[in-house]
Amino acid sequence: MSVFKGTGVALATPCDQNGIMFGEVEKLLTKVISGGVNALVALGTTGEASTLTAEQKESFVRFVRKFSSLPLIVGTGGNDTKTVVENCILAEKWGADALLIVTPFYNKCTQHGAIEHYRYIAERVSHPIIVYNVPGRTGFNLLPDTMKQIAEIKNISGIKEASGNMVQIERCLAYGIDVYSGDDALTVPSMSMGAKGVISVVANVAPNLVSRMTDLILSGNFIKAGTLQLRLLPLIDALFSEVNPIPVRAALEMLGIKLGAPRLPMTEISESGRLLVRSAIEELKLL
């Protein structure tokens, strides 16, 4: 069974020197839920999980869980397999419905090592696992033939594919694997081929438009969905004009949702980037 269909929002994490900014989290959740998203994804790349403390992670996930009954997918990945298991057990305790686990990074692994990594984790957790392939960040590309073997392991529910390679996405789909687009710009092409949905950065900023787009695809209206995808492209380009989540942080601030100061090595957006983001937001009349 698929974890969700349609739009999953890769939540940003409002957090300052005092901890999670729960008032701002509530604003963000209200915005995306009223915008029609189908699932909430916490502690991913956009949520800056790598620079949150254990206490901040727990308090954020527990707050999101209490606020909404939508499917909650929690990022628990890492490059030490046993630590990932510990992260998964904690996320399950905090209320996660599913786990998003990125491929190992820095030490990386072989394709066989990736299979054993996910096998070890899946045998020790009870919740569905979405594998996350993002070679631009990890330096490792999980190949479709490898994912085919991983998908046969219990608890493996699908893959968030952010390689940017449509042929790779198609091969995963051809193997009958549940695929979620990890690239906002490829949502319509991926879903038109059979992907279940998108785990979206843009849905933080324009949840109604992204949700409308995935609803159109799921109802078979590919032409209207494609038109909306093209309409969103300037915003997508702006939100990835600098390293994610730098631009989306700026966009949310413009829309009245404070995220706190960036945690190094993240920095504030450049002035040219800020102008690009503002222009894209204004073009869509989001301000």
The rounded distance, in Å, linking the Cα atoms of 20 and 22 is 6
Cross-strand partners of 39: 8
Q: Hey, what amino acid is at 53? A: T
The rounded distance, in Å, linking the Cα atoms of 257 and 54 is 23
Q: At what angle do helices 246-254 and 271-283 cross, to 10 degrees?
A: 60
Helix (H) or strand (E) holding 171: helix 166-174
Other CB atoms within a 10 A radius of the CB of residue 212 amount to 16
Catalytic residue among 57, 160, 180, 196: 160
Verify whether residue 57 is a known catalytic residue: no
Cross-strand partners of 98: 73
What would the DSSP string read from start to end of 208-223? Answer: HHHHHHHHHHHTT-HH
Verify whether residue 106 is a known catalytic residue: no
Contact between 155 and 129 (Cβ < 8 Å): yes
Contact between 191 and 36 (Cβ < 8 Å): no
Catalytic residue among 5, 118, 132, 196: 132
Residues with a catalytic annotation lie at 132, 160
